[in-house]
Structure 1
């Protein structure tokens, strides 16, 4: 049985996409451009990214105008692009060559914090999710699955089997979300069904692992290798935290007997190897028996104060678009103060973040949005589960993105989706 997300994915892929691309290629002209503004004049910020992605899929360049009207997009005029903007409810402006030149001249001014980044090729996008192998209805609130489908950006889904088989090499961009790489099934039976647990046990057995925790470690190491080899990794919620915990705990039993039949190594904390982690160091594990608690470690800044802690806002840093191009791309937005949102891992304790990690966004008490480089690859960790998540009756409610077309929190996700298409330059500062 296909989940709602899988049905949406199928709808995106079968939407006459090939026909659209062929028409698109045949209708670009040298005269005039289409400007897709991303400031408050934009009717649907999220779907605008889907327009940019569709142009890239046709092997046509997109200019990303950093800090110009909220990080606008500009492409050569095409009647197909114009029509698609109208169909998807995306605001656009047809600008003459003279107007285009004036915009580019303004952006090139050395005293103005703007830049033009050329986006060239659509990345091959994949999402790591248990919807591949089981019902996993909780994953229908995976923010990235939701926004990719809403923006009509095509993607594929993999899980442990595909990762262990080496399939990540087929892709450019990998997303991880509400996942537990420690082998404790999320410490939360409200999201982990019997079918989910059995599916993971079956994969572990097929690949010769005695425990799910051993299998998950192998998956975590494969994901790290994918990034180090040149891939782009984007993780949210508990995936960002548990990936590093699993890597640090290689060879150490940190899993309670209720999950794997034997106890935790009493010296586990002292045996953690922080040299193996991607983003975090010097963190302390949270030991709780069974499903008595949902915390993994003090990486999560809200671990000790509860899932329902009252939250406020976090701020994005203002980077130089001309010198610090990578972080400037990742923080493009029409708002620089963004509403906080919950997750099993809501935000990151400042003292646990490695000094070589670049903080893109933070609140007074925690870091929220992180960037780093690993080998030839790059990664971003973004705290929280769903930027527009709501709760009712004690349970997470499904998010209808038709109600949040201007979500600044979701825009950060889509910045990351487009990021691999850019000609990337190293940071200066």
Structure 2
């Protein structure tokens, strides 16, 4: 298995502390096959945090279960939302935590203490943006009943991001080429972006999107948590690497591409990817990908036929990836997207691969400055081949989706309690 673990990652991982919640009586929310609704269980955990109470995340115990203080209100909320739970006495709860602390067991307890302020970067803030209605994160946050706010380019340009803890990007194009593919954006969507660029003094949408990409990177470096899926993960790094270089064809902005654009890319400015080659432009509304970061490049919305595997991390020493990979199933069905998965040789050695298929990396983590990011390939964890990508997935049909659970692991991650490093 491929693992890129830097010293910085290791130090950050061990900075998370074992939970210290004391209980009168406790509610155990199992996350194994005994759970009636895995996705809504995360919503219960978030609601407890929002109420000012702590949540113990039991890493590698019954699929990454949660334990909270027992109250009539929380019990009622579990019943209303269809979430399975078990009542534990104070003695049993304490014994369970002691059991998980055993150094011979690959299990541990992490205390979540504060509900993260969540935002989703999406053009639905300013335009119809029908494609964004199928954003997997918007879908699962709504289904799990986890509150969030919507932001777009203006909020980033105005410097609003530091007000929040957790930022999601889905299938955005930060290169200023309006998606390049499959009628991704309507003329209304394009006009809105042109208007924002003009309002803030940018001559091109690509210049405005670069400023947005840099603002997102600064948010992360300043201590924010970034979660990106599909083309957003790919185009964010392309835009950062191409700062000061024209990589946008005339069909998008009226002038040509710098003939030396490829050689001028600066991979030191990117978060996750390096040594990638830009794809040629087939013209607006054409069918092309952005670069060979995408392991299914040239095939657009391709549906892989296989599965990808989550790595088994140490709950006591590799705490961060252990949290982000909690699941009741370690093998997950691959799913398509404009950026389906990440070519292995394009992923920086500083990134940690947490899930991989036979030929690509699907789920990766890294750090920049005081912040962290996770990139997840693909469009919709329950998307099907030949399906209409504009039709939202009904998560009532997929309450146990292991692919969607990875998204929700990331939602809870910023709530983890930290302690001072010993090194």
- Fold shared per TM-score above 0.5: yes
**Conserved in 2, the CA contact under 8 Å of 1:34 and 1:92?**
yes
Identify the residue that residue 241 of structure 1 maps to in structure 2. 234
Relative distance call for 1:231 and 1:410 in structure 2 (3 A) is: same
2:190 to 197, 205, 220: 197
Distance (whole Å) between structure 1 residues aligned to residue 420 and residue 132 of structure 2: 35
The answer to which of 399-408 and 303-312 deviates more is 303-312
1:325 to 319, 324, 331: 319
What is the RMSD of the two structures over their aligned residues, measured on CA atoms?
A: 1.7
Distance (whole Å) between structure 1 residues aligned to residue 229 and residue 364 of structure 2: 10
Relative distance call for 1:198 and 1:316 in structure 2 (3 A) is: same
1:97 to 83, 86, 90: 90
Identify the residue that residue 328 of structure 2 maps to in structure 1. 334
SS at match of 1:187: coil
Structure 2: 5+ residue runs without aligned partners? 1-20
Relative distance call for 1:372 and 1:425 in structure 2 (3 A) is: farther
Identify the residue that residue 154 of structure 1 maps to in structure 2. 147
SS at match of 1:180: coil
TM-score by length of 2: 0.92
2:357 to 352, 363, 372: 363
**Aligned counterparts, 1:27-42, within 5 A:** 30-42=23-35
The answer to which of 304-313 and 399-408 deviates more is 304-313
The answer to which of 100-109 and 64-73 deviates more is 100-109
1:113 to 106, 112, 125: 106
Distance (whole Å) between structure 2 residues aligned to residue 224 and residue 146 of structure 1: 25
1:304 aligned to 2:298? yes
Structure 1: 5+ residue runs without aligned partners? 1-27
Distance (whole Å) between structure 2 residues aligned to residue 364 and residue 284 of structure 1: 22
Distance (whole Å) between structure 2 residues aligned to residue 32 and residue 345 of structure 1: 46
1:264 to 246, 252, 257: 257
Identify the residue that residue 11 of structure 2 maps to in structure 1. none
Distance (whole Å) between structure 2 residues aligned to residue 306 and residue 158 of structure 1: 27
Measured after TM superposition, the shift of residue 310 of structure 1 is: 3.4
Task: List per-residue Cα deviations over 1:39-65 (Å, max 9, x = no partner).
Answer: 000000000000000000111100000
Task: List per-residue Cα deviations over 1:316-360 (Å, max 9, x = no partner).
Answer: 000000111000000000000000000100000000000011000
1:415 aligned to 2:415? no
Relative distance call for 1:350 and 1:307 in structure 2 (3 A) is: same
Measured after TM superposition, the shift of residue 289 of structure 1 is: 2.9
Q: Compare relative contact order (CA 8 Å, sep 6+) and give the higher one, 1 or 2.
A: 2
SS at match of 2:70: strand
Relative distance call for 1:321 and 1:244 in structure 2 (3 A) is: same
1:398 aligned to 2:397? no
